[in-house]
Amino acid sequence: MIDTKARHLVQPVIEKTADRALKLGLTANQVTVIGFLIGISAGVAVYFGQYMLGLALLWFSGYLDAVDGTMARKTVSTKFGTVLDVSFDRLVEVAVILGLAFRYPDTMWASLLLLGSIIYCITIFLTVGAVADEETEKSFYYQPALAERTEGFILLSLMIIFVDYLLFFTLLFLAVEIITAIQRLLHAKRLLA
């Protein structure tokens, strides 16, 4: 929801970074890979108890995720770039959740439920994107809902910062994902029925 409603507020900074990266000769896919590696490092940092480092790495990877999309729209957006972007985004989320789950194994059951809900939500999102005839500025139909990338990062951040309440924030994230899945299914029914 935040991505859809507030992206225009940060887009000028993202545009400048994208322009600089392009001047350096970087491609959107290269920035995607760099952001992915930084994001995976966030999960490793969290596992080793380096929470603030993990938090900074997570958000920097998310920033690069916005930059790579802007770069792709300024140059040539490829379908393979879309695959890299969406799949690497999920792996970053998985890395952070697993970093927390292995550091705090007593909450692993909730982490597994959360991962299952994320898999289901992204399945709906990608399936609707593949079958919808709607046009958007992105390379596929983007189905807005309660939990988009920024909301996920906020919830992951709360899980990292407040590890004493990890179970609560994991279950909160799960509830948000369930609401998002319902929203997306209802939207899909209206759009595709």
- Read off the pLDDT of residues 91-148 as tens digits, 9 standing for 90 and up: 999 999 999 999 999 999 999 999 999 999 999 988 888 887 766 656 666 777 888 8
CA angle 102, 179, 144 (to 5 degrees): 100
Q: Please state, in angstroms and rounded to a whole number, the distance separating the CA atoms of residues 59 and 7.
A: 15
DSSP3 helix / strand / coil % (the chain, rounded to 5): 85, 0, 15
- Assign residue 129 the CATH number of its domain: 1.20.120.1760
pLDDT band with cut points at 50, 70 and 90 for residue 2: low
In this prediction, residues 148-167 reach a mean pLDDT of: 94
pLDDT band with cut points at 50, 70 and 90 for residue 41: very high
Instruction: Provide the number of structural domains found in the chain.
Output: 1
What pTM was computed for the model? Answer: 0.89
What range does the domain containing 135 cover?
Answer: 2-192
Task: Indicate the SS3 state at residue 50.
Answer: coil
Of 92, 91, 96, 90, give the one whose Cα is nearest residue 111.
96
CA angle 146, 152, 154 (to 5 degrees): 105
Tell me which DSSP letter residue 165 carries.
G
Please state whether 179 falls in left (phi above 0), alpha (psi between -120 and 50) or beta: alpha
CA angle 154, 114, 3 (to 5 degrees): 35
Q: Judge whether residue 45 has pLDDT over 80.
A: yes
